[in-house]
Structure 1
Amino acid sequence: MSDPILRVEGISKGFPGVQALKDVHLEVRAGEVLVLVGENGAGKSTLMKILSGIYTRDEGEIFFEGQPVELTGPLQAQQLGITIIHQELNMMPDLTVAQNIYIGREPRRGPFVSERELNRQTAELLKNLDISLDPREKVGELTVAEQQMVEIAKALSFNAKVLIMDEPTSALTDAEVETLFGLIDQLRARGTGIVYISHRMDELRRLADRVSVLRDGAYIGSLEKDEISIPTVIEMMVGRAIDEGARPEPRDFGGAPVVLDVQGLSTKALLKDVSFQLHKGEILGFAGLMGAGRTETARAVIGADPRDGGTISVAGRETRIRQPEDAVKRGIGYLSEDRKLLGLMLEQDVTFNTVLASLSSYANSIGWMGDRTAKDKTKEYVQQLRVKTPSVNQVVKLLSGGNQQKVVIARWLMRDCDILIFDEPTRGIDIGAKDEIYRLMQQLADAGKSIIVISSELPELLRIANRITVFANGEVTGELRNEEATQEKIMHLAAHGEDN
């Protein structure tokens, strides 16, 4: 067992009203992938920002190659050999690959940058990493995966000995993920120590040489490769066992009222004669490959995209929904797949985001929320949904992903929507928070709400949906009751629906 390149002892860090880290211990060895896991808010990102010089620690010691170090900023950490690739990529789209990699360190001839030498140097670096990119291409014209490769090349241009990767696959396709994993294997073979932060258990299985777990800002423990089991890791993360293979109890909704009846829905862009029904108290899953028509159907139903044909009936009455406001008036709430861009106002507080769909009920004569009942009502939903926040005055961007999602759910519950459409409800959320969202959806359904869940994760649909409607090429290609559904059957309908 090799000595650690990087070791931290007793690290603590606090912010106003929050103790983010408490006496944390961690070590990273040369040539290993250490997968760091924990729920949202466990302290993973705070620890990594301390190790990369972005934050300063309150207590504890950091050792690099056996020597105590003080990390005073990101540049010093990079020069030492510690580099981080953030989940939100930090590229300059109008600059070339070479310019992004060596910005501030460009080779010069006198006072001028030598573009020729810069491109030659970059080409050599990319070749050594087996990355097939043109140094002269603008980063803004690259895919997200290619931009990620540029970030990795930039990190290694500092001769990084420890590379920290924060949720690097969150925006990648399956093929791009495999390319990234191949590069990680190369880096491991060269002796680079990698800290890999992830919520995805399948990535843990594929990559981990060791796993370290944080929970509520504290270090819980580490497992060597031959000790790793997914149930053990999950229990360490959340403090309780979670049955990933659980399914809803079989139920027959045939006698339940139809609350949403969509027939022959079509759009000029994609959808062709889409029909489905949603019953009271039912959770209906939408499955299919990316671009198959799942989200497009939801957007057409709520009036976000124009329809070219078809009818929509709510509670037995045909209705015209031309814009999202019409859908809200008819009791339909839509939770967008991109909660940060389309679902939340990140700079506003929990109260504002919760009452956003019900502003007319809480605005005072001045036109803003002077009514104390807005905060009181928000507190009720924060308590009911167990939103972890210091107060309803907390700015939403400071909440974890799972708690942000709960705020969006609270908004539509406050509006008293009977039909809720969840689009990728657990994207970017840890497994403990996922389980809470699943339980919450089931509670809502048990209380008489009707839910559509759109998800790219088939285990998620099997875990929560009573029925699953499958899409391919803008059409419904099949429908499966949960008790008969398998991942294989769903994928067959999603990939080969035209043959059925």
Structure 2
Amino acid sequence: MANKDNDLVRLENVAKRFGPVQPLKNVNLRVGRGEVLGLLGNNGAGKSTLMKILCGYHPASEGKMFFDGEEVNLRSVTHARQLGIDCVYQDLALVSELNVYHNMFLQREPVRGGFLGILDNKRMKADAQRHLDDMGVNIPSVDVEIAKLSGGQRQAIAVARSVYSDARLLLLDEPTAAMGAKEGAMILDVINRLRAKGEVSVIIIAHNYAQIFDVCDRINLLRDGEIVFDKRAEDTSVQELTDIVVHEYRHAAETLNE
């Protein structure tokens, strides 16, 4: 049985409605401290809506959210970030024309000489390099423009920026989407390093079941707005998840033909 005292975040009976549309019905979800959770589900299952509730973009219509043992009502994305909840989307929100270290400190740049002083580029460069090295992110230089990096390198920098901003819960939306095997492996390595340290909890939305098993402690499957599957990764398999999804497709097809 799960220990609630070890949960960093917990959702109880969460629902979301947009007029007559209800993408989430009765979601019960938990993520332990330092745990990596894989969130799977077909298109339209409600994964994106759930992530937007967790990061403060949408308020829940019903249910409760607990963070670090306290019930919270997230007012905005900024409020969520203040608590330590951050989301890395597929578009990354990086500025292509800026170099790596300026992106790492975007909107929180240190200055020398007080409030109206000048940017402390030397400090940003040194801190960005140290943090990327600590996370195992290999790039040519922190001086290079983001636009000149590969997709995998950009994704790794976006993850590192969130962690370096003191994120305690990191939400990753398809972090290896449209990447080749080498770039995907780079991102999985970054996630595994975070997992080994146990300082950040992570929720990964993904479609690649095999990759999920490489980095996740536990697997959840979201179907029709509800969590219908919750097992530790070591207690399930790609085959079991595939069989569940195939069964869903067959059931849906049979229903349409009735």
Aligned to 1:159: 166
Distance 1:218 1:210 in 2: 17
Any idea what SS the aligned residue of 2:156 has? helix
CA distance in 2, matches of 1:238, 1:163: 30
Task: Describe the SS at the equivalent of 1:10.
Answer: strand
How far, CA to CA, are the matches of 1:211 and 1:97 in structure 2? 33
User: Quick one: distance in 1 between partners of 2:106 and 2:183?
Assistant: 26
Aligned to 2:201: 193
Number of aligned residues: 245
Which protein has greater RCO, CA pairs closer than 8 Å, 6+ apart?
A: 2
Aligned Cα root-mean-square deviation (Å):
2.1
Letter in structure 2 aligned against 1:119: K
Match of 1:47 among 47, 50, 53: 50
Query: Does 2:66 align with 1:63?
Result: yes
Determine which structure has more spread, i.e. the larger CA radius of gyration: 1
Q: Could you tell me how far 1:80 is from its partner in structure 2?
A: 1.1
DSSP 3-state at the match of 1:154: helix
- Specify the alignment match of 2:256 in structure 1: none
Distance 1:168 1:206 in 2: 14
Distance 1:57 1:20 in 2: 11
* 1:62–1:68 contact (8 Å) kept in structure 2: yes
Q: 2:248 aligns to what SS in structure 1?
A: coil
Question: Structure 1 residue 239: deviation in Å?
Answer: 4.9
Cα deviation digits, residues 403-422 of structure 1 (max 9, x gap): xxxxxxxxxxxxxxxxxxxx
1:100-499 correspondence runs (5 A): 100-109=103-112, 110=114, 111=116, 112-133=118-139, 134-191=141-198, 192-237=200-245, 239-240=247-248
- Give the TM-score taking structure 1 as reference length: 0.47
| TM-score for both structures, normalised by structure 2 | 0.88
Alpha-carbon separation, structure 1, partners of 2:183 and 2:220 = 26
Give the superposition deviation at 1:70: 1.9
Kindly state the Cα deviation for residue 155 of structure 1 after the two structures are TM-superposed: 0.7
CA offsets 1:403-459 (integer angstroms, 9 cap, x no match):
xxxxxxxxxxxxxxxxxxxxxxxxxxxxx99xx8xxxxxxxxxxxxxxxxxxxxxxx
Q: CA deviation at 1:77?
A: 1.4
For the pair 1:86 / 2:93, whether they are aligned, the reply is no
For the residue of structure 2 that corresponds to 1:240, the secondary structure is helix
AA at the equivalent of 1:82: I
What CA distance in whole angstroms lies between the structure 2 residues aligned with 1:44 and 1:5? 19
Output the CA distance in 1 between the equivalents of 2:249 and 2:16.
29
CA contact (8 A) 1:215 1:237 kept: no
Residue 167 of structure 2 aligns to a residue in which SS?
coil
SS at match of 2:178: coil
Q: Give the CA deviation at 1:46.
A: 0.5
Displacement of 1:172 in angstroms is 1.2
Moved over 3 A (4+): 234-242
Gaps of 5+ in 1: 243-431, 437-500
CA distance in 1, matches of 2:85, 2:72: 12
Unpaired stretches in structure 2, ≥5 consecutive residues: 254-258
Conserved 8 A contact 1:220-1:236: no
Residue identity over aligned pairs, in percent, reads 33
